[in-house]
Amino acid sequence: MNNRTEGGIALRCHTDGTVIGVVRDDLGLSPRTPPGARLDALVDPVAREKLNAFADAVRKHDASFDWEITVPIGTEPTNTVLMPLHFAGVRTDEGMLVVAARTRSALVRMNEEMLRINNEQTNTLRAMAKKLAVVSSQNRDRDDAMFEDLTRVNNELANLQREMARKNVELSLLNEEKNRFLGIAAHDMRSPLGVILTYSEFLEDEAAEVLDNEQREFVSVIRTTSQFMLRLLDDILDVSQIEAGKLNLDLQPNDLVALLRRNLGLNRVLAARKQIQLRFQPAVETLQVTVDAAKLEQILNNLIGNAIKFSPTGTQVDVRLSAGSDSVTIEVEDQGPGIPPAELPKLFKPFSKTAVRPTAGEKSTGLGLAIVRRIAEGHGGEVRVESEVGRGSRFILTLPTSGPDQG
């Protein structure tokens, strides 16, 4: 038998936990508990509260058995390992006797061996060994039942994990099929809607004089509805491609200031219809960044377009650009109604809409900000929002200057 594996340690202590002496030590722990030391020096600091509870039980009940308490094993900090030892204790004339071993069976054997020690503790130790033998037998039965229960639960868990893995594969395939279907449907619907939009624009421009007011209104409704449907289909195509992992970025060096000025020029037409002033405040005159220019324009159209859409007539929208050591930040701030705090978490989710409505009845697909977030993340950046009801909203886009990390 390897004492280091099967043995343990036995100590005589005063009732206050002061060590009187080491009776036996197979584990090399006695240097930690010389006479006069505290018993809790034997155990891991985290386990001292449990050791104190064990000692209290010995003092209160005259004996206590099979407490599992963690003890550092080893002499050097570099090779010390934490190991649970089984503790037992008994009251004696001078205080108490504490025995600890690596296994419950070793604990019983140690007490049986110590019964042969001819001192005033023999009778007490004999009773202790007898009780430990009973407890050990009871614990074996309990452990066998527990092992069977754990085995059954583990098998059930393994079956559930296999079933979940199978379901995840099915869901992944169904999601790919859904994205494929959405992409095909949206693509096939764009052509006929484009024709409807083109003819409605022709009727508004070329046939307005031969149409009465009601007919012109019908044509206007056809045109605006067709435009909205085409935007919706474009957004669905974008979402389906992104969800399918097909966000292909054409990353090239671009002058971000020039790109912003060009985009603002296009959006000023929309702003002028609501008498909204677009103000651009770049911190620099030129700024080279590596981005997909078309995708970044898509982000800007969404953020600036939303700011115009949700701003009251006669207000202003501020666009700011600043640069850090390795990133750039674009802010779009409006003077709109703001977004309730409870609705902010769902803002960047597909088809999620808030209680805030556009100020001129403009329509929204509910996909724009979800696309903005995915494109920003594809660039290695992020987009977030700060908003206060009654004070407006500020959308903050942060992008790395050198493009996404390819590692």
* pLDDT surpassing 70 at residue 114: no
Distance from the Cα of residue 256 to its chain's centroid: 33
At 118, is the pLDDT very low, low, confident or very high (cuts 50, 70, 90)? very low
Q: What is the mean pLDDT of residues 102-130?
A: 65
* pLDDT surpassing 50 at residue 8: yes
Which pLDDT value is given to residue 136?
58
Q: pLDDT: is 95 or 139 the higher one?
A: 95
At 284, is the pLDDT very low, low, confident or very high (cuts 50, 70, 90)? confident
Which pLDDT value is given to residue 295?
86
Contact status, residue 269 vs residue 226, Cβ threshold 8 Å: no
Both tokens assigned to 391: 């004070």
Single out the residue of 266, 280, 265, 276 nearest to residue 316, CA to CA: 276
Which of 4-8, 131-135, 164-168, 306-310: highest mean pLDDT?
306-310
Alpha-carbon dihedral of residues 223, 227, 233, 237, nearest 10 degrees? 150
Distance from the Cα of residue 382 to its chain's centroid: 16
At 1, is the pLDDT very low, low, confident or very high (cuts 50, 70, 90)? very low
Q: What is the mean pLDDT of the chain?
A: 81
Which pLDDT value is given to residue 2?
44
* Helices vs. strands in the chain: H and E counts, helices first: 8, 12
At 19, is the pLDDT very low, low, confident or very high (cuts 50, 70, 90)? very high
Which is it for the CA torsion 346, 349, 354, 356, positive or negative? positive
Relative orientation angle of helices 256-273 and 293-309, to the nearest 10 degrees:
30
Q: pLDDT: is 123 or 97 the higher one?
A: 97
Partners of 81 in the β-ladder: 73
Q: What is the mean pLDDT of residues 269-286?
A: 89
* pLDDT surpassing 60 at residue 115: no
pTM of this prediction exceeds 0.75: no
Which pLDDT value is given to residue 298?
85
At 91, is the pLDDT very low, low, confident or very high (cuts 50, 70, 90)? confident
Question: 3-state class of 200 per DSSP?
Answer: helix
Q: pLDDT: is 37 or 144 the higher one?
A: 37
Which pLDDT value is given to residue 361?
66
Which is it for the CA torsion 370, 375, 378, 379, positive or negative? negative
Which pLDDT value is given to residue 208?
74
The percent of residues above 90 in pLDDT, for the chain, comes to 26
Q: What is the mean pLDDT of residues 70-98?
A: 83
pLDDT digit string (tens) for 231-277? 766 666 666 666 666 677 889 999 999 999 998 988 888 888 899 99
DSSP helix, strand, coil percent of the chain (3-state; round to 5): 50, 20, 25
pLDDT digit string (tens) for 350-407? 767 777 777 766 666 667 888 888 889 889 999 999 998 988 999 999 999 987 875 5
Partners of 383 in the β-ladder: 397
- Burial code (b: 16+ CB inside 10 Å, e: under 16) for 177-216 equals eebeebbeebeeeeeebeebbeebeebeeeeeeeeeeeee
| Least trusted range by pLDDT, from 82-96, 284-298, 318-332, 339-353 | 339-353
* pLDDT surpassing 70 at residue 3: no
| Least trusted range by pLDDT, from 79-83, 225-229, 269-273 | 225-229
